[in-house]
């Protein structure tokens, strides 16, 4: 059960900076595996990331203002992988990759 929960946690935090991911000992001490039970859909996270990527790609292409913390590394990577924008587009929008 804990191993499956850890896999869900890993999938949810893919692309996040290390400072935002719990260390294993803290994750276990705080019983955080209880937040990632088997009935928690992992795909929902992927759908949310794809939706966010599509939303922000339109803003980037339109030259709209993007707050510095508006796009996570995971969403930026999804935008690039999906061909929605190029790395140069994100840099031009003032985002650090």
Report residues of the chain scoring pLDDT below 70.
Answer: 38-45
Per DSSP, the chain holds a count of helices (H) and strands (E) of 5, 0
Q: What is the pLDDT of residue 40?
A: 52
Q: What is the pLDDT of residue 86?
A: 94
- 50 vs 56: CA distance, rounded Å: 10
Element (H, E) at 32: none
Q: What is the pLDDT of residue 88?
A: 93
DSSP string, 1-31: -HHHHHHHHHHHTTT--GGGS--HHHHHHTT
Q: What is the pLDDT of residue 42?
A: 54
Length of the chain: 97
What pLDDT, in 10s, does the model give residues 24-39? Answer: 999 899 998 888 776 6
20 CB contacts (<8 Å, ≥6 apart)? 13
Q: What is the pLDDT of residue 58?
A: 95
């Amino acid at each position: 059960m804990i191993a499956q929960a850890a896999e869900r946690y890993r999938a949810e935090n893919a692309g996040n900076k290390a400072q935002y991911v719990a260390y294993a000992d803290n994750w276990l001490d705080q019983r955080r595996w209880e937040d990632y039970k088997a009935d928690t859909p992992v795909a929902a996270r992927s759908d949310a990331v794809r939706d966010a990527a599509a939303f922000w790609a339109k803003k980037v292409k339109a030259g709209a203002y993007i707050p510095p913390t508006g796009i996570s590394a995971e969403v930026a990577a999804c935008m690039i992988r999906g061909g929605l924008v190029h790395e140069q587009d994100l840099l031009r929008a003032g985002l650090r990759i």
